Structure 1
Amino acid sequence: MAFLPTTREEMLEQGYEQVDFVYVNGDAYVDHPSFGCAIITRVLQAYGYSCAILAQPDWHKDEEFLQFGEPRLGFLVSAGNIDSMVNHYSVNKRRRDHDSYSDDGVMGKRPDRPTIVYTQILKRLFPHKPVLIGGIEASLRRLSHYDYWDDAVRRSILMDSQADLLMYGMGENTIVEVADALASGLAAKDLCYIRGTCWKTKSLEYLSDYILLPSYEEVKADKRTYAKSFHIQHENIDAIAASVLVEPYDGWYVVQNQPPLPLTQEEMDFTYSLPYERTFHPKYHYIPAIEEVQFSIVSNRGCFGSCAFCAITHHQGRVISTRSKESIVEEAKRITEMPNFKGYIHDVGGPTANFSREACDKQREFGACKKRECLFPKPCGNMVVDHSRYLDILRSVRELPKIKKVFIRSGIRYDYLMQDKNDEFFDELVKYHISGQLKVAPEHINAAVLDKMGKPRKELYLKFVEKFKEKNEQFHMDQYIVPYLMSSHPGSDLQAAIELACYLKKIHYTPKQVQDFYPTPGTPATCMYYTGLDPKTMRPVYVAKTWEEKAMQRALMQFTYPQNYDLVYKALKKAGREDLIGNGPKCLISYRRPSANNFSHKQAKGKDKTMNKKNVGTKKRTNAHKRERNAQR
């Protein structure tokens, strides 16, 4: 099966004078099931609808948007696989110099907020054709939201773009229902009944059962009202338990229908059985984003993990959708036949790899609880912890001919794993599925910060580290843990950051990269960042807002680096922790600033890796360091 047409010439070559849909995308065209554009267009194709891909058009040239002519049913618009503002700007709001979703990583192939820009162009050029928006950027901005880059509350992207309909969440079933409705002759304004959509209206006379949110003007004017509105939205993300939400604007209402139902296993299998080329269009030289996913397999969607800084639940929901073993094994077989396959499956997973079923049996009928999280603050008594199905899939994949190793890179929830009384999965994880290092996400060590993150307390993480060490010794493995840690999350002040630094000192670990909290739409943590309130309790939350304090919290996590000395010194002085300055065994820095010439950044990285191995009980640190040095050569 060929790529879908990306130019008028390709469209005509494939026998189309007119296509049903033109999909306008902020990413380069990659026909791989890890890319939303590929999934939506292949699903439409499977249901008999023709599509053309207009990837990264020059928004200064109308002729690029005109090249396919007028589609029969309408335009589909997405910013791409990642929010454009996150893609373009660092947490410090500095313009990035690399775009993994563009040819050769070149930055600048799309505008800021392309969903709005593309849609407004299309509405001007094709005023009578429906323009339907979707993708992660639209999904997370479906109602009024705090925008970190503007430092202001913005309207629903449906209002700002003037699109006819917004599709949110995982959209296979939604797009087919929309396409069928348009093909039957319904106007876009009449598509007000479809799950997973938002639409705008001037009258609510036909709605009977809904929750009326505070108006955009009210949430913009008052942070407390914003937090209350966000909490209502967050309680209504489950397809079964959610209500219809209505947000008033000046003379308009934005209506959010109930979320799309999670895909059944048969529907998931169908999506991933479609004839993807599994690579980028040949007109490109190289799309860097393909590197991590080309030989990876998606096994599940959704997440019941409760992380306050993550928007997955707002987009995919908390109820897990899974694929059958047969479907995953068949995809693995197709991967082994690819000419550049080297024998390694990079990942079998999803938002959380080891969530291979619903959190509990009740979710199948009643959905996720509105007032109760599955894992936080303690695991729910109804939660079923079972890795047997996932383990069966991994065994079947790794037994295939031509496969040397199957890795798990999408991350595991160690708190869920530690609830499993059967060590069978833990054993095989250590023996077969780690590429030398296991990445897990404790995120912090301070109890108050972890509570705001929705993460388990440090004691459980320390038990996991100890068990991981024991498993490595049991199976004579030489592997170690790489913890993901975050600075400046709401709730983290300098004292909490110093506590984390002291822990890192204790375990002899300096993270190579530090993740500074990035406020993005759709997360409880972003609501905390903007309002200074926990939306669950409406109690005040400490938030590091100044660039200086954020820089100090970040530097404390890498206190061993000479270039961070001044910031660490200032942070310790400001927090009244001069006891950590000096030559004592617990001190973070000395009184004297070290010379960068004597202790380089590169040396620090080498030291980190050696100390990581020590942290999981490796006895041959010297040999490990030699191996690393030789590999670098």
Structure 2
Amino acid sequence: MMNKLSDWLPTTNKEVKLRGWEELDVILFSGDAYVDHPAFGHAVVGRILESYGLKVAIVPQPSVNDNLQDFTKLGTPRLFFAVTGGCMDPMVSNYTASKRKRDNDAYTPNGDKGFRPDYATTVYSNILKEKFPDVPVLIGGIEASLRRVTHYDYWSDTLKPTILEDSKADLLVYGMGEQPLREIVNLLQKGVPFSSLTTVKQTSFLLKKGAEIPKNKNWKDVTINSHEVCLKNKKKFAENFKVIEQESNKLFADRVLQDVGNSTVVINPPYETMTESEIDASFNLPFTRLPHPKYNKRGPIPAFEMIKFSINIHRGCFGGCSFCTISAHQGKFIASRSQESILKEVDQVTKMEDFKGYLSDIGGPSANMYKMKGKVQEICDKCVSPSCISPVICHNLDTSHKPLTDLYKAVDKHPKVKKSFIGSGIRHDMLVPEFNKKADPKELDAYTEEVMTNHVSGRLKVAPEHTSDPVLKLMRKPSFSYFHKFKERFDRINNRKKLNLQLIPYFISNHPACELEDMANLAAETKDLGFQLEQVQGFTPTPMTVATVIYYSGFHPYTLKPTRTPKSKKEKDEQHRFFFWYKKQNQQWIKNTLSKVGRNDLLQKLLPENNSWRKNKGAKPKDTFNDTITSTSRKKNKYKKRRKR
């Protein structure tokens, strides 16, 4: 069935008129091109608002380099402007780990760069407040969400206040927006002024310092160190993060207050995890699942091409990795869709004009967390731990993989599906009975075999991230010994089924607590396993992670003990160099470095006299540090198209 232009939310006055509208209720500005698909936040927000009976238009990637007509062309909305920087933090979209401008933008037609300004949410919001000073501006999306309190900004190397201060926005929605938007719209439709939206969960706003905090008898307040104190004292800044992270991940959290200048930022507690019916309703909205026709002549949008035939089955991640922002934005509790909703979307995908029978991914932030939750809800209600699987898997966590195995089989029964792939990252540690002690080993093997046999195209990618126990402990990742255990199971299934699959591990260099010798040991241990590493990344600090707080402050926020991080370009390059010990140009440097620190044992492992070793077949190195993918951008959005070497 051919789509009509009016099937998309309008982006121009002409399209508004096509719908017979004289006035808009909400105008949404986005740093991404408009793709009407449930994987694109602006489309979800637009469709949600539309479902409440509102007249909504989207202005994607407005130009900030001309007379700013994109900000005024649709006029004044009746209710508010909504602003998002896009599916990724614009600074991650625009810059590499070494702060070099990227050559492309995956969320722009043809991958063209230059269509999204740095700090896009702040830039857009300021323009709107200047042009329409009396119209409320609501900001959301990952950029706003992760910058809702005092945060370290890696790209400017400064400590910045809440984005509400710099953007001049009236209200911030953090996390996934469906639940707070529903309440906001309900209150506005009842005649409540926008300025009175002060007790909506999962929102944040500024008050004049000393003003009375809005009353809510169900909430307790916790005050963290002011922005000014954080500027003067890095340890106090680090101290804040424990409170922020714990309150972000509680089911029944406290309200957080922080003074900044002459204001106080108020962060209301988050909503409880979305129910199955709520998340189903979000995915069941009338998306065309396609880019707006306006881009037809500009070329494909890389991020869309990557997820065009993929299905997102859940939100959230209970891993709590120290370098990852998923739980800060999506939460640590898993919100899973029903099998019926997923199969309905699969059917929609199979009817797409260019579908050839292959689904690129049936997954989520972590592929194998579908339907997992606490066995006794009351225990989860009181939990403050940022991770359910570190340092050990919680005894109350149901890690059954059976619902997921059953889902894969149900998807593959569709007559038009030839093969469904798992493109999302799999938590291999949860598939190891020695680590996942409460699970049924047969069930874990059944899932692993199902994935390897039916859902992998030659390679299975997993993320042990490091080999050093101290580094892994700080990362909130399990010992590398469990990767050895998983590899044994992988090899056993691989040989028994004659699959000829490759296991591809991801690793990170330059992470807090990682020393040069740790990287040398990583190189030696992976060499012993037969790997010539391919998926290698340099740590990039992004707001709202433990690792970033350590990077800036030098203190671990939970212990307040000093913790070192490689910072200089020389340190980073040297750590990264160990990934490529087999390169001739690196070998003399490695000999000198390891000899100097008395690690001849590692030297002998890496560069024995005969220099013979077994390569992991087919793995080809990518050895340019500046072009490696960043750990955080990979975690936040697995569909990001990487730069071509």
TM-score normalised to structure 1 length: 0.91
- Per-residue CA deviations over 1:429-459 (Å, capped at 9, x if unaligned) read 1211111111100000011110111000011
Identify the range of structure 1 (352-361 vs 390-399) with the bigger mean alpha-carbon deviation.
352-361
Deviation (angstroms), 1:365:
7.4
Residue pairs, 1:33-44, within 5 angstroms: 33-44=38-49
Distance 2:573 2:112 in 1: 28
Any idea what SS the aligned residue of 1:526 has?
helix
**3-state SS of 1:235 partner:** helix
- Give the superposition deviation at 1:182: 2.4
Instruction: Look up the match of 1:302.
Output: 316
Change (3 A) 1:519 1:591: farther
Distance 1:98 1:332 in 2: 30
Equivalence map 1:371-410=2 (5 Å): 371=385, 373-410=387-424
Give the corresponding residue for 2:64. 59
Two-structure CA RMSD over aligned residues (Å): 2.0
- The offset of 1:536, in angstroms, is 1.4
Match of 1:541 in 2: 563
Alignment of 1:81-480 (within 5 A): 81-202=87-208, 203-207=211-215, 209-284=220-295, 285-363=299-377, 366-367=380-381, 369-371=383-385, 373-418=387-432, 419=436, 420-421=439-440, 422=443, 423-480=445-502
Q: State how far apart, in whole Å, the 2-side matches of 1:201 and 1:510 are.
A: 55
Native 8 Å contact 1:559 1:589 kept in 2: no
Specify the code of the residue in structure 1 equivalent to 2:414: L
CA distance in 2, matches of 1:290, 1:270: 22
> C-alpha separation between the residues in 2 aligned to 1:3 and 1:607?
44
Displacement after TM superposition at 1:554 (Å): 0.7
What one-letter code is carried by the residue in structure 2 that aligns with 1:100?
A
Kindly provide the amino acid, as one letter, of the partner of residue 50 in structure 1: K
Aligned residues: 596
- CA shift, 1:590, in A, is 7.5
| Inter-CA distance 542–591: structure 2 relative to 1 (3 Å threshold) | farther
Q: Identify if the C-alpha distance between structure 1 residues 359 and 566 changes in structure 2 by more than 3 Å, giving closer, same or farther.
A: farther
Structure 1 residue aligned with 2:633:
none
The offset of 1:82, in angstroms, is 0.3
Query: Which amino acid in 1 is paired with 2:75?
Result: G
The residue that corresponds to 1:622 in the other structure is: none
Where relative contact order (Cα < 8 A, 6+ residues apart) is larger, the structure is 2
Which residue in 1 is equivalent to 2:540?
A: 518
Match of 1:532 among 544, 554, 557: 554
In 2, are the aligned partners of 1:505 and 1:588 still within 8 Å (CA)? no
TM-score w.r.t. length of structure 2: 0.89
After TM superposition, give the deviation of residue 564 of structure 1 in Å. Answer: 4.0
Deviation at 1:8, TM superposition (A): 1.3
In the alignment, is the contact (CA less than 8 A) between 2:249 and 2:386 conserved in 1?
no
Q: State the shift of 1:510 in Å.
A: 2.1
1:326 is paired with a residue of what secondary structure? helix
Partner SS for 2:48 = helix
Structure 1 spans left out of the alignment, 5+ residues: 593-603, 611-633
Unaligned runs of 5+ in 2: 1-5, 622-645
Deviation, structure 1 residue 186: 2.2
* Preserved CA contact (<8 Å) 2:199 2:214: no
**SS of aligned partner of 2:274:** coil
1:182-204 Cα shifts (integer Å, max 9, x gaps)? 23332222111111100111213
Structure 1 contact 26–114 (Cα < 8 Å) conserved: yes
For residues 482-561 of structure 1, the aligned pairs below 5 Å read 482-561=504-583
Q: Secondary structure at the match of 2:527?
A: helix
Q: 2:606 aligns with which of 587, 596, 616?
A: 587
C-alpha spacing 1:17/1:225, structure 2 compared with 1 (3 Å): same
1:149–1:388: structure 2 CA closer, same or farther, 3 Å change rule? Answer: same
Of 204-213 and 262-271, the range deviating more from structure 2: 204-213
Shift, 1:589, TM fit:
7.9
Aligned structure 1 segments of 4 or more residues deviating by more than 6 angstroms: 589-592
What amino acid is the match of 2:571?
A: E
Taking the aligned partners of 1:363 and 1:303, their CA distance within structure 2 comes to: 17
Give the CA deviation at 1:400.
0.2
| Counterpart-to-counterpart distance in 1, 2:609 and 2:294 | 56
Change in Cα spacing, 1:571 to 1:608, as seen in structure 2 (3 Å) is farther
Moved more, 159-168 or 229-238: 229-238
- CA gap 1:562/1:606 in 2 versus in 1, 3 angstroms: farther
The residue aligned with 2:25 is 20
Tell me, in whole angstroms, the C-alpha distance in 2 between the residues paired with 1:506 and 1:296. 36
C-alpha deviation, 1:268, in angstroms: 0.9
| Conservation of the 8 A alpha-carbon contact between 1:555 and 1:567 | no
What percentage of residue pairs aligned between the two structures are identical?
Answer: 40
| Deviation, structure 1 residue 573 | 4.9
- 1:23–1:52 CA contact under 8 A, matched in 2: yes
